[in-house]
Chains A and B, each alone.
Chain A
Amino acid sequence: MLRSLHGLMESFDRLSEAAARLGAQRIGRRNALSALGTAIAGSAILPMLPFDRSGGAAQAASTRDDGDETCEYWRYCALDGFLCTCCGGSLASCPPGAEPSKVTWVGTCQNPKDNKAYLISYNDCCGQVSCGNCLCNYNLRERPGYRMGIHNDINWCMANSRGLYHCTVAAVIGTG
């Protein structure tokens, strides 16, 4: 997956690449996914509804890694939103005062350190004002809302009683 991402980026000329990176700082909203596991991407099961992982996300330990405040960090291959690592949270925990979203989706990203694919959960963190830092937007295998489970232009805090979008985490929850 990361190879695909690199291929995408290398295909840009200098101007477009700069624009895309700027765009990643500006654009979009959204959490959610894009980079689906191959098994999921190949399926035609519809509708693909997000998993409810509210319990699992709440139990995730605080996690940090080198480079996790940049859009190009490997876990963000399918993330669209403000990075919680830039907002007082970590890769797997929400900043103080914000709670993980109840619904979301998983992506599959390749860790360059071991070249293995991992399942990533892109929960939004909810109930605080917009963080505003580190807005990223990657869309591998993202689709319009007719495949809602892999759509990233919508507020995934939608099922929380505290529905305000704050930022997005990228927790490893399995292997791809």
Chain B
Amino acid sequence: MLRTGFFACAFAALLPFIASAQEPLKPEQMSEETIPAGTPKLFIADLAIEHIVDGRVRIFDANSMKLLGMVGTGFLGQIYIPPKQDVFYIATSYIEKITRGKRSDWLEVYDSNTLHLKSEIPIATTRAQALNYRPLLQGSVDGRWIFAQNATPATSISVVDLNAQKQTAEVANAGCYGIFPAATNGLRFATMCGDGTFGSYTLKDDGSAAERAASEPIFDADKDALFIHGERDANNWLFVSFTGNIYLVDLEGAAAKLVEMIEMTKGVEGDWRPSGYQTHAFHQKSGVVFVLMHKGGTEGSHKNPAEEIWAYDVRNKKLLSRSPTTTAFSVALGQGDDPVVYAIDLVGLKVMRYTSDAAKGYALTAAGEQKAGNTPIQAETQ
């Protein structure tokens, strides 16, 4: 009985194999994934300092933090992630034989869903080979022009016409750095200058040249320098300073104007100051800016790791909440009603995801994290 039962069980176990042996095996089809259109994406630029000719940008699902794919960014390449589009841009350098040989620089256009190269445009080999900062590669509001910061170390800006697929001009911005496109005029952009002014450029229609107008001094680069990272606040730009002030600057006109300066840290004990690379992120709907902060700030501490992320109401000039974070150097967010905040931990080499709660002053709650490579610097959402 026992023996019969054993053979019966063994036969039953073999049945699937016998059946499969009678049918031809259907080979799996090899294929290539595509990121579904509409997937909320988080881009993290990694300059890979330990193998610096081989940077990359990783693309994560902004909700699950799952890695969706990656694209090489060459030698200290910059990224520009336009909102609400299915493309993104990389400006980078290649050396002919990796470590030696002729240098060439390119503006590359990638499909955000297939991650395939759509086109590449040669640009001036004066391109700034720098850490990833958003203002070093930007696009015009109408999507026609791309602006790339150069440094030899004399500074200039390359202008690329995406319609004509060519660089049309290289305009000097000596003593200045960074590109801040206007919100209402595709031919206009501004730059931030070491004498405390902003320079505003207005391109000719064909992009071949630009007129420049300087503002009055807006900040003091010795006493209260502005971080180069800027955030749009409708038609203004929102900057933060080394000592903890917010500067709202109107860059729409022929020349820039200071709208308002707000003392964000006034009345707060502990010498808290902003710090990092991508120092702040602005939530348009609520008027709240999230700022990376460290305590005991002093001259030279402006790239210290952040210990807290402050949520500050710019409209009502009120500090709403202070949330702890871990050695954060860059911050970005999604623009939902309760914004999701992403912070890069450059010590732990990871990107942290936080949810926020408007009812609690946009206080943050940890909601996932993911490894982010060798030298993750810049975070962008699309």
Contact = CB atoms under 8 A, between A and B. Distances in A.
Contacts of B211: none
A145 B222 contact: no
A127 B99 contact: yes
Contact of B133 (A11, A153, A158, A163): A153
A176 interface: no
Contact of B300 (A19, A142, A145): A142
Contact of A129 (B51, B155, B193, B349): B51
Nearest to A5: B300
Interface string B76-115: 1000000000000000010100011001000000000000
A23 B50 contact: no
Given A145-B151, A153-B133, A7 B298 contact: yes
A138 B151 CA distance: 22
A84 to B, nearest CB: 15
B299 A4 contact: yes
B162 interface: no
Nearest to B297: A11
B140 interface: no
A61 interface: no
Interface in B105-146: 128-131, 133
B174 interface: yes
A106 to B, nearest CB: 14
A46 B194 contact: yes
A144 B225 contact: yes
A23 B346 contact: yes
A47 B177 CA distance: 11
Nearest to A130: B52
Interface residues of B, number: 60
Contacts of A23: 304-305, 327, 329, 346-347
A87 interface: no
B180 interface: no
A132 B76 CA distance: 16
A42 B220 CA distance: 12
A158 B151 contact: yes
Specify the main secondary structure of chain A where it touches its partner: loop
Contact of B50 (A7, A47, A132): A132
Which of A7, A130, A145, A156 has the largest number of chain B CB atoms within 10 A?
Answer: A145
A145 B130 contact: yes
B152 A158 contact: yes
Contact of B349 (A26, A139, A140, A141): A26
Interface in B133-170: 133, 149, 151-155
A149 B298 contact: no
B268 to A, nearest CB: 16
Given A154-B129, A164-B99, A165-B52, A149 B153 contact: yes
A22 B327 contact: yes
B131 A28 contact: yes
A15 B88 CA distance: 38
A131 to B, nearest CB: 9
A146 B198 CA distance: 10
B226 interface: yes
A16 B270 CA distance: 14
Contacts of B75: 164
B299 A140 contact: yes
A25 to B, nearest CB: 8
Contact of B153 (A34, A49, A163, A164): A49
A76 to B, nearest CB: 13
Contacts of A139: 300-303
B362 to A, nearest CB: 24
B300 A8 contact: yes
A153 B302 CA distance: 13
Given A26-B375, A44-B222, A146-B176, A164 B52 contact: yes
Contacts of B99: 127-129, 164
Contacts of A93: none
A46 B129 contact: no
Nearest to A165: B52
B192 interface: yes
A27 B175 contact: no
B181 interface: no
Interface string A1-17: 00011011001100110
A109 to B, nearest CB: 12
A141 B195 contact: no
A155 interface: yes
Given A4-B300, A49-B153, 11 more contacts: A11-B298, A12-B296, A16-B307, A20-B305, A26-B347, A29-B131, A129-B52, A132-B50, A145-B151, A154-B128, A158-B129
21 contacts: A8-B296, A8-B298, A11-B298, A16-B295, A19-B305, A23-B329, A27-B329, A46-B194, A48-B194, A129-B99, A132-B49, A137-B303, A139-B300, A142-B302, A144-B178, A144-B227, A149-B153, A153-B130, A155-B130, A159-B152, A164-B100
